[in-house]
Structure formats: structure tokens, C-alpha cells
């Protein structure tokens, strides 16, 4: 499954940067977050996108405003329901892979 391969590679990259995995594929009705990690006290919510070619746009461009809104809602739900508070330091990011999951260029883009 190609999505799982991209998520595995993204997780490996985050772990190599010092992240600790909290959850994978956290789902709520209408939304999902691929990876939830913690780095230096900050909860990091990551959407993983991979595109073999840029013919239909880049992996980063495939993240729509609607997806970001659903991701934000899922992040708030996770903070409140799992961690018991919604005021913890956190951030959203997109881990994009351009090319194959195994060898494509991996980039991390913070969402403001």
C-alpha cells in the first residue's frame, strides 16, 4: 500500500529528528491525522502526502483548505479527548514526498 509506505518514511524522518510517536492514523468522523508526534514539548500533527509526479500538482498542493480545516478539528479533538486539554503547544505540518515513497524528495512544511 503506497500511502503506508509514505507514512513509514515520514515517521522515520520525524523519529530521526527526535520526535516521539503518540498516534498513527488518528480518526474522528470526517477527519484523520496521519501522524501525531511530540518534539520538545510540542504536539505535532502531520499530514503525509506523496506524489510520484507533478503532473497534477505537487504533493503539498494536494492539501486543500478543507483538508486543513478537518485536520485542525481532529487535532483539537485529540488534544481534548486523549490528552485532556486543548491548550497544549502544538503545530500542524505537511510532510510531502515528491517521487517514490522510498526515494523521493521529502520536505516538511509548517502550516501557519
Domain ranges of the chain: 2-91
pLDDT for the residue numbered 2: 60
Q: Give the list of residues 6+ apart from residue 79 with CB closer than 8 angstroms, or none.
A: 43, 85, 86, 87, 88, 90
pLDDT for the residue numbered 60: 86
pLDDT for the residue numbered 78: 96
Provide the CATH topology of domain 2-91: Trna Endonuclease; Chain: A, domain 1 (3.40.1350)
Digit-coded pLDDT (tens) for 52-108:
877 778 888 889 899 999 999 999 999 999 999 989 999 999 999 999 989 999 999
Better-scored residue on pLDDT, 1 or 8:
8
Amino acid at each position: 500500500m503506497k500511502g503506508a509506505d509514505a507514512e513509514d518514511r515520514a515517521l522515520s524522518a520525524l523519529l530521526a529528528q527526535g520526535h516521539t510517536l503518540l498516534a498513527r492514523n488518528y480518526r474522528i468522523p470526517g477527519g484523520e491525522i496521519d501522524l501525531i508526534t511530540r518534539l520538545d514539548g510540542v504536539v505535532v500533527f502531520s499530514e503525509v502526502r506523496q506524489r510520484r509526479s507533478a503532473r497534477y500538482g505537487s504533493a503539498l498542493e494536494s492539501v486543500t483548505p478543507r483538508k486543513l480545516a478537518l485536520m485542525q478539528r481532529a487535532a483539537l479533538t485529540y488534544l481534548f479527548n486523549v490528552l485532556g486539554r486543548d491548550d497544549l503547544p502544538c503545530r500542524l505540518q505537511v510532510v510531502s514526498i515528491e517521487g517514490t515513497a522510498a526515494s523521493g524528495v521529502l520536505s516538511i512544511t509548517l502550516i501557519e
